[in-house]
Amino acid sequence: GDAYIQLAKYLLDARYTTADYFRLSNFAQPDRQDVYLDNDTNTDFLYYRDHGSVDGWDEFWTGNVASMSFGGKFPIIYSNACLTGQIQTNNNLAEEFLARSAAVFIGATEVSPRSENNSLGDKITARHRDGHTIGNAFRLAKRDLAGDIHWYTICYNDMQIKKEILMYNLYGEPARGGVIKALSPEKITYDTPASPILIALPMVEVSTGLDGLDHPTIPDPNGDLLNSINEPIVPIYRWRAIYEPGVRVNDIALASRGGLANFSGLELPTAWGSEKQLHGPGDVPSPGVFPPDAFHWTSIERTDGGLEVVLTVHPFLYNAETQDATYYQNFNFNLDWTVSNVSILTITPTYEAVPIGGDQTIEVTLHNGGGAAETVNMTVDISDMGTSGSVALFTVNNIAIDPGATVSRSVLWNPAGQSPTGFQATVRVTNSASGDERDVGYAQFRVGRPGITVDSFYFNNSLLYYVRADEDILLGLDAKNTGDVPVNATTHLQIRRESDNLLIREWECGIPALSPGHVHVCADTWNTTGLPEGRYQFKGWVQYEEGVTPLESRSFGTLYGMRMGWWMPKDVFNRGDKIMATANLYDEGGHNIGTADVVNLLVLRPNFSTFAPPLLEHPVAPFFSTSFMVTSAEPRGVYGLVSTASRTNGPSTLGGRWFVVDDEGFTMTANPPVCVADGITSITVTSDVVEEGGSVIPDGTLMSLLNWTGVITSPDMDPGADGIQVASSGGRFEFVWRSPPQTSLDAFVFGTLGPSSPKSGVSARFKGIDFNGNRRVDVQDILSVQDSAGAIVDTARFDGRHDLNEDGVIDLLDESEVENRWGLELQGAVSSVTLTMPIGANGVILRPIPDRASVPPGGSLPIEIVAEGLNELGGYELVGAVTGTAFSTQIPLQVTNALESTGNSQTHLGPLAYLEGSRVGAFATGDKIGPSGTQTLATLTLHADSYGESRLILSSVLLARMNGEVIPLMQAFDGRYRVEDPTPTPTVTETLAPTWTPTEVATLTPTPSPSWTPVATPTQTPLPGDTNGDGLIDANDLFHFCHEWRLPSEAADPNCNIHTDELIDQRDLLLLMGIWSQN
C-alpha cells in the first residue's frame, strides 16, 4: 500500500500547495494522536489510509475530532479504511467530522478489501488532481474500478470490486474542491466516432516503493493500475469516448501495436483482498504473462441516450516467474460502429415486486425513427443482481418495424425456484440480417413483496403530553410483515430533544427473517430520572430490505412548569355575595393537565390577613372549585385568591386571582380584554356610571389607580397622591392601560375613590409574542404561530400561547399580530450589529460571496449572502451592516425568493433600518418542505466611495424550519472589502524558452493566494492574463485557456492568443505563465 499512498501524496501535491505525508508506524503509539492534532491547521484535504472502525482510526477516535482545528477551512476527509463511513451507528466518525466543519467525508460502510481500497484511492485522487470536484472524481473513480471486471478476474475478485463500488459513500457537498464541472446532458460535447483509434503513450516509469518492490506507472491522467487478486499490479491505460444517441459500437479490434520496450529483473507487488488474511502457498500469480490479452472494452448506456465507451489498454505485460516485462507505447484499434434508427422507448415490467407464485410480464416498446423499414431481433436476459448470473433468456426474432412506427413485444417469465431478491432484465436489439446492435436497455425488479408496517407505536406516560420525574414508561413499536416473503429488518427507537435534536436515548431491535403476517415487538421500560427540562420527541421507524416505514412520532415534555388558572364571573362583588371560582392546571401551551397531588387555597384580605375557603376537586374539568362569602364584618377593598399546587417528583405553582369587595362597588370594563404584551399596545378601561350615597359623582372626582402590571399612561391629575389619579366625566372614569413587555395572564388594576368611597377593579390578559425567549419578534415566532394555524381549543395541536385574541382558534388574525410586529425588540434585548455571532459545533455556514475583494474607486460590488448546509428552511432573518467609509450601500440588502424553490409562497420582511445596518427576513407559507443544501438568501450592492477598507458584518442571524424549529447556525462570516487602484501589470516580452512538453500542462496548478481578489467594473480595460474576461486573474483563466488549446486564432478567444499568431499553442501558454506569475 505504500506505493499507493505515495502516489496519492504526489497527486494531492499537484492539486494543493503542500501535501504532508506521515507514516504512523514511524511514531510511537502514544505519539500517534499528536500527528493528527499537530498538523490540522488550514487543512484542505485529509487522506487517511490504514485500519479503521466505525468510531476511529489508528489512535484517533470521535472524541478527538473536536480537538482538531482546521482554521477557516472546511476540508475534504477521505478515510480510505474499513467501516469509517458507516453512519447507522451512533458516535460514528463520519458524522462527527461533518459536525466539526468538514465539508465532505468519504468512507466505507463495511470491512473493505485492501487492493481495491488502494486502487479506488489512486483513482479518486488522480481525478481530483486533474481539477474535478470531489463528487465527480468519486463517480468517475467508481466507473474506472468497474472497468477492472474482466474475463480473467476470478469470481471472488469480481465480487470484491463490486463490493468496493457499493460500500464507499460520499457525505457532504460533492461540488467541493474542483474547477472542472461534470457535464450535464444539455452541455456535453459528443465525440465523433472514427476509425482507427490511435493511442500514443508516454514511457512507463518504474519506481521502488517503501515495500522494496517495483511499481510501474504510466505518467498520464488516463493511466491507471489493474488489481486482480493474486495477480501482479500492472499499469493500464483507459481511452474514453462519449457518442451521441443513436451511435452503437459493435466491436473494437486491435490492428497493431508498436513502440516496444523490454524490462527484466522487476519484482512487482501482488494484489490481495484482505489485510487480515495472509497469503497461502497457492496464492501466487498465474503462470505466463499477465494480463493475458492486450485490451478489453465496455460500453455504458447514458441517461441522455448517448453511449460512453471505455477502452482499457494493457500496454504492460509482466511474467512473474521470469520477472520480465514488455511495454508497448503505440496502439492502433479498429472501431466497428453504426448509427441506429431503432431505439428502445420503454421496458415495462408488470410488477416492481413479483408476488410469490406469480408471473412477470416484461413489455418492450421499440421505435423506428428512420426512413426505411427494418427487421430486428430482440433478446431479454434476466439476471440475478446479486450474482450477475443469467437465470432466463428470451429471444423474439424478425420484428418488422415500418418507418416512424412503434411496436411492442412481451415476454412472460415464471420465477418459480428463484430466490426472493433483485433481478435485472437486459434488453438487446440487433439487426436481423447483420447482427449489428441497435440499442440496449435495462429494467430492474424483484421477486417477492417484502413489506413492513407499524402495527402499534406506544409511549405510555401517565400524564397527557408530559412525563413525571423518575417515571417508568413502557414504550415500543410493533412491526408487522405485510408482504409475502420473510423480511430482515431493524426497528429504531429514539428520544430526541426538540430544541436541538439532541439524541437522549436510542434502541435498536434486529428482526431476522420475520415471516409474512407475523408481528415483532420492540419494547422497553424507560425511566425519566435525570431528564433535563424541555420538550422531546419519541420517534420510531423500521428499516428493511426495500425501504423504511413512515416516521412515527410522539411529543412530550418534562412538566417543570405549570400554571393554576382561576376563573370568576366578575371582578367586583358586594359584601354578602356568594363568591364562586373554578380553576384548572395548565401547561405553558394552555393544555389542561389534570389534577395535582397537593393543592392549598387561601384568601388574602385587604388588611393582609387570610382565611382558607373550602376547595373541591372534580373528576372532570374544571378540576377545582371553591365558594365562600365575604360578610359585612370583612373589610372593603381588593382581595386575592391565592393557591399552590404541586406534584410528587414534579413541579409546583403559585396561582391566584384578584377581586374587589365593596358595598358601593362599580364595574370597569377592559376593551379589548386580551392584548398583545409588547410594551407598546394598550387597552382602554371604561367604568359604569359611578354613584356614591345614591348620587352620581360630580365631574372631576378623582379615582386612585393601583396597577399590578403594565403602565397607566393616562395623565396623573394629582402627582402628589399615591397611585395614578384619573378624573371622572359624566359620572364615568376612563383610562389607558399599556401592556407590559412580557406575558401577564392575571393582570389587574384596583381603583378607589377613597377609604370609605366606592371601589372597583378590572382584570385583563396580556399575551407575549416572544415565543423563543430572545426578546425580539422574529421569523421563528411567526412560523411557530403559522404552524399551529387551524388548531381549535381543547385539541392536541392547540397552543394557547398562539391564540393571541383568545377566540378559541389559531388563525390569520393571530399570525398577523406577530407578523406586524416583526423586528420589534422587547425590553431586555441587546442591540448591536457588531456583536460576533458565536461559532456553533455544527449547523449552517453563512457567508458573503465574495467575502474578499478589491474595487477601484467608483466601482460597484454585488454581493450574495449564501447559506450552506440548510435543512428544510422555512424562514430566516439577518442583519447586515457595512462599517468604515470606504464603501456605501448602492442597492440595499434584500432577500431572494429562495423559499419559493420548493413550491411554497414567500412573504418578504423588511428591510428595516437597524442601528447602522438593516434587517431583512422572509418566511414561507404552504404545505411543502423548505429548501435544503446551499441557497442564496439575500443580496446587496456596495459602492466604492473612497480608499480604505470596509467590513460587511452579518449578525442577528436566525434560521428556522416551517414548524418554527430552529436550524442551528455554525458560523456567520464577515466580508472584507478594499477600495484601491488595480495593481499595474508589467509588460511581458517573449524571452521565455518556447520548449513545450505535455507534462508541463498536466502539472500546472494555480497556487492559492491570500491576496485580495480584484473585481472589475464594466468600464475597466480587460486585464492581461484575464483569459475568460471576468475581471479576475485566477485559476479559471488557466482552465478557460485549456478549452481554447490548439484552436486556430479565428475560432479562439482573442484573450488566449497572447502571441497573436494563427494557433493557440505553447507560446501563448508560456507568455500567460509569465503574466500569471506576476499576479
pLDDT of residue 493: 95
**pLDDT tens-place string over residues 879-902:** 999 999 999 999 999 999 999 999
Q: In the predicted model, what is the mean pLDDT of residues 518-545?
A: 91
Query: Mean pLDDT lowest for which of 136-140, 430-434, 857-861?
Result: 136-140
d(CA 36, CA 43): 11
Query: Mean pLDDT lowest for which of 165-174, 442-451, 728-737, 971-980?
Result: 165-174
pLDDT of residue 986: 42
- 521: pLDDT strictly greater than 90: yes
Q: How many CB atoms lie within 10 A of CB 713?
A: 12
- 542: pLDDT strictly greater than 90: yes
pLDDT of residue 1001: 28
**pLDDT tens-place string over residues 213-248:** 999 999 988 888 887 777 898 999 989 899 998 999
More confident residue, 387 or 139: 139
pLDDT of residue 1032: 62
pLDDT of residue 869: 84
pLDDT of residue 999: 31
Distances (CA, A) of 983 to 51, 945, 947: 50, 18, 14
pLDDT of residue 154: 44
**pLDDT tens-place string over residues 940-980:** 999 999 999 999 999 999 999 999 988 888 888 889 899 99
Q: In the predicted model, what is the mean pLDDT of residues 175-200?
A: 70
Query: Mean pLDDT lowest for which of 342-351, 391-400, 1069-1078?
Result: 1069-1078
Query: Mean pLDDT lowest for which of 559-568, 809-818, 926-935, 1070-1079?
Result: 1070-1079
- 579: pLDDT strictly greater than 70: yes
Q: In the predicted model, what is the mean pLDDT of residues 671-687?
A: 96
In DSSP notation, 962-1020 reads: TTSPBPPEEEE--EEEEE-PPPPPPPP-S-S-----HHHHHT--PPP--S--B---TTS
Q: In the predicted model, what is the mean pLDDT of residues 702-713?
A: 95
Highest mean pLDDT: which range of 145-149, 596-600, 1067-1071: 596-600
* Percent of the chain residues past pLDDT 70, beyond the cut: 84
User: Is 856 in contact with 944 (CB distance < 8 Å)?
Assistant: yes
916 pLDDT tier (thresholds 50, 70, 90): confident
Residue 593: HSE in the Cβ half-sphere, 13 Å Cα cutoff: 31
Is 392 exposed, middle or buried (CB count within 10 Å of its CB: 0-12, 13-18, 19+)? middle
Tell me the three cell numbers of residue 530.
Answer: 435525570
Cell 436510542 belongs to residue: 506
More confident residue, 877 or 210: 877
464 pLDDT tier (thresholds 50, 70, 90): low
- 204: pLDDT strictly greater than 70: yes
56 pLDDT tier (thresholds 50, 70, 90): confident
- 838: pLDDT strictly greater than 50: yes
User: Is 700 in contact with 732 (CB distance < 8 Å)?
Assistant: no
DSSP β-bridge partners for residue 1032: none
1070 pLDDT tier (thresholds 50, 70, 90): low
- 15: pLDDT strictly greater than 60: no
Q: How many CB atoms lie within 10 A of CB 240?
A: 15
Query: Mean pLDDT lowest for which of 25-39, 802-816, 1039-1053?
Result: 1039-1053
Q: Which of 224, 47, 211 is nearest to 122 (CA)?
A: 224
Q: In the predicted model, what is the mean pLDDT of residues 856-883?
A: 93
Strands of 291-373, DSSP E: 295-301, 307-313, 316-319, 324-339, 342-349, 353-354, 360-368
pLDDT of residue 1012: 36
pLDDT of residue 523: 96
Is 401 exposed, middle or buried (CB count within 10 Å of its CB: 0-12, 13-18, 19+)? buried
Torsion of CA 830, 832, 834, 840, to 10 degrees: 40
pLDDT of residue 1003: 30
184 pLDDT tier (thresholds 50, 70, 90): very low
**CA of residue 67 relative to chain centroid, distance:** 24
Tell me the three cell numbers of residue 393.
Answer: 433468456
DSSP β-bridge partners for residue 538: 495, 554
Q: Which domains does the chain have, with CATH numbers?
A: 1-182 (3.40.50.1460), 196-274+292-338 (2.60.40.3800), 340-447 (2.60.40.10), 452-558 (2.60.40.10), 563-767 (2.60.40.1930), 844-979 (2.60.40.680), 998-1077 (1.10.1330)
CA-based end-to-end distance of the chain? 39
**pLDDT tens-place string over residues 766-792:** 999 999 888 999 999 999 999 999 999
Q: Which of 11, 5, 9 is nearest to 220 (CA)?
A: 11
pLDDT of residue 13: 61
- 405: pLDDT strictly greater than 60: yes
Q: In the predicted model, what is the mean pLDDT of residues 266-280?
A: 67
More confident residue, 92 or 204: 204
* Percent of the chain residues past pLDDT 90, beyond the cut: 52
Q: Which of 582, 654, 593, 594 is nearest to 625 (CA)?
A: 582
Average pLDDT, the chain: 84
Phi and psi based region of residue 388 (left: phi greater than 0; alpha: psi -120 to 50; beta: remaining)? left
Query: What is the arrangement of strands in the sheet containing 711-712, beginning at the earlier edge strand?
Result: 668-671, 682-687, 734-738, 711-712
pLDDT of residue 945: 96
How open is the CA angle 278-266-327, to the nearest 5 degrees? 120
Q: In the predicted model, what is the mean pLDDT of residues 480-488?
A: 92
pLDDT of residue 970: 80
Query: Mean pLDDT lowest for which of 61-65, 671-675, 813-817?
Result: 61-65
Tell me the three cell numbers of residue 215.
Answer: 511499481
- 163: pLDDT strictly greater than 90: no
Distances (CA, A) of 922 to 776, 857, 938: 15, 34, 10
Cell 426495500 belongs to residue: 546
More confident residue, 469 or 960: 960
Q: In the predicted model, what is the mean pLDDT of residues 606-614?
A: 95
pLDDT of residue 258: 95
- Which residues does 142 contact at the CB level (< 8 Å), separation at least 6? 120, 165, 168
